[in-house]
Amino acid sequence: MKTIKLNIPYEKAGLKGGKYCAELTAVTLKVSPETGLRRRPAVIICPGGGYEMLSDREAEPVAMRFASFGINAFILRYSLKAQFPANALELAASIAHVRSNAKEYDIDPDKILVCGFSAGGHLAASIAVHWNNSLIKEPFGYAEEHKPNGTILCYPVITSGEFRHEGSITNITRENSNAEILDMLSLEKHVSKDTPKTFIWHCADDKNVPVQNSLDYMRALSCNNITYESHIYPNGGHGLSLADEATAGRDSHINKVCDKWFGLCIDWIRREFN
């Protein structure tokens, strides 16, 4: 594993005085002359934790699983309790780093995906819908190296409205919770023709982040003719990660129905990014 320090333009975005600490970790297969002609897809993983902590269960084990399928993976440990758009800038910088160093990592620069769990799903979807917003583009000098090619959303926080996850929204609005910011954080309202194709899954009985978050996002994708694949499982609750023994913190995290999501996701990547 390789840890990468990111250069993030917080001050250019008007973010001053915060305790920002973002780190990108590469979990990549060694480039060999035998594989050098094949450029792999890449996935940048954003663990969940309500923007208050980062779940280890949604970090290295997931990255290693992607790597085992020939998809080079990166883990973004983003700043916690950081005012929006700090985390979105951190993810944007991560995408730009991976794309600009694609040859070093044996990566196809046109096959860079972001994957987020719970609040990390909100972060991944934030860059998916806001990557071309001036709030993100201006600090980077209006370059487009930070545009994701695809999004993988796992029981994501999406809205700041009726079905919001209170802790997540509170932790990234901090003292700046005006109507304009809250509107930007309701990501279902900002899906457009420029939003990348998406894989999304959720459990219908999720009591922490209601499934309505995913349903509203799916509706927005459909209304904008964005290709997506979705899987809504009847039971499983929240925070399953891989839903198998590799990431289980307790017995209820092992779900032989929901653990199919990862294989389906790999099939989706191979189909959509062949």
Segments making up each domain of the chain, as ranges = 2-10+24-272
- Distance between CA atoms of 264 and 274, rounded to whole angstroms? 15
pLDDT of residue 35: 65
Q: Provide DSSP, 203-244.
A: ETT-SSS-THHHHHHHHHHHHTT--EEEEEESS--S--TTSS
Residues 150 and 196: beta-carbon distance below 8 Å = yes
pLDDT of residue 34: 73
Residues 92 and 136: beta-carbon distance below 8 Å = yes
pLDDT of residue 38: 75
Residues 39 and 111: beta-carbon distance below 8 Å = yes
Would you write out the chain's pLDDT as a tens digit for each of its 274 residues?
Answer: 889 989 899 999 888 877 898 999 999 887 677 766 678 999 999 999 999 999 999 999 999 999 999 999 999 999 999 999 999 999 999 999 999 999 999 999 999 999 999 999 999 999 999 999 999 999 988 778 999 999 999 999 999 989 889 889 999 987 677 888 899 999 999 999 999 999 999 999 999 999 999 999 999 999 999 999 999 999 999 999 999 999 999 999 999 999 999 999 999 999 999 8
Which tokens go with 168?
């997540």
Count of CB atoms situated within 10 Å of the CB of 28: 21
Three-state DSSP class for residue 182: helix
Burial of 198 (0-12, 13-18, 19+ CB in 10 A): buried
Read off the pTM. Answer: 0.96
Residues 52 and 171: beta-carbon distance below 8 Å = yes
Q: How, if at all, do strands 2-5 and 23-27 pair?
A: antiparallel
- Distance between CA atoms of 183 and 103, rounded to whole angstroms? 38
Q: What is the largest CA-CA distance in the chain?
A: 54
Amino acid identity of 235? N
Task: Name the class of domain 2-10+24-272.
Answer: alpha beta
| List of residues 6+ apart from 94 with CB closer than 8 A | 6, 22, 24, 44, 74, 76
- Distance between CA atoms of 116 and 101, rounded to whole angstroms? 22
